[in-house]
A and B are shown apart, each in its own frame.
Chain A
């Protein structure tokens, strides 16, 4: 279960899963949706594969990824989406507060 939590904790991997919910896609098709390097994408695919959330099917030189989420994993994915967004907004708030704090400190100095 740890590997599943690890896989769902990253927003890029969650977006990959969202894309695969629409239809199975090749690695190239998936990579087109992200502005990250290919090795980074491969690492993300490896984490998802290890967690058993996606299944790669190799045909010739093309690897097609299929979604393999159980109902429980899909529910966890839903929660991760919701709480992931909340965490992001909290992080943004904290960053803003942190910046404000810095400027006040700077002013004091």
Chain B
């Protein structure tokens, strides 16, 4: 997990990179550059407004969960915007063709799914339970969904990297079912290997 200061630095660097890329792309694609710059403006305003709200309530901003989650969202969205504006720019400069632009966009979406899935089990929904006992299933479900998203994201990115472009739309439809199937099979194998006698915590540890 990134430290709060590092997280802010990454977000700021990414946003600055987007602004630079949008400025370079401006002569070629004004509309795309404007959309991207608008995105950066929205991220910044959300960041500052939530920060102001926190400060007004007298809460600690640096260690707050909302700060961490907002910055995580900004980083993800910035990565997506940076990737898309860079791909557009490279295409306009005729360094890559249309097909490659599509592939880059597909891979970026896959990476975004991986990042989202990776972070999913870290979200605290378990605070609602008195002792946490009632939220056991929701935590398990979060972990399960996290693994599915990560695997599906990897498959999605893989499809856009390796599969023929005529087949990608069909192949991407299969990514989530395949990911679910793989996770379920792995879980069954794990349960088969770890019989009740080997139950966690049954052996006392020195």
Contact = CB atoms under 8 A, between A and B. Distances in A.
A55 B133 contact: no
B57 interface: no
B86 to A, nearest CB: 25
A68 B142 CA distance: 11
Interface in B118-142: 118-122, 124, 126-127, 129-133, 135-136, 139
B150 interface: yes
A95 interface: no
A74 B120 CA distance: 12
Contacts of A22: 136, 200-201
B2 to A, nearest CB: 9
Given A36-B206, A55-B124, A70 B132 contact: no
B162 interface: no
Main secondary structure of the interface of B (DSSP, over half): helix
Nearest to B151: A71
B200 A66 contact: no
A9 interface: no
Interface residues of B, number: 27
B205 interface: yes
Contact of A70 (B119, B129, B131): B119
Nearest to B119: A70
Contacts of A70: 1, 118-122, 146
Interface stretch (A10-18, A86-94, A98-106): A10-18
Given A24-B126, A66-B139, A57 B132 contact: yes
Nearest to B145: A71
A18 B201 contact: yes
Interface string A55-83: 10101001010111111101000000000
Interface of A: 4, 11-12, 15, 18-19, 21-26, 33-36, 51-52, 55, 57, 59, 62, 64, 66-72, 74
Given A15-B205, A68-B124, 13 more contacts: A19-B200, A21-B200, A23-B132, A24-B126, A34-B205, A35-B204, A35-B205, A59-B130, A70-B122, A70-B146, A71-B118, A74-B121, A74-B143
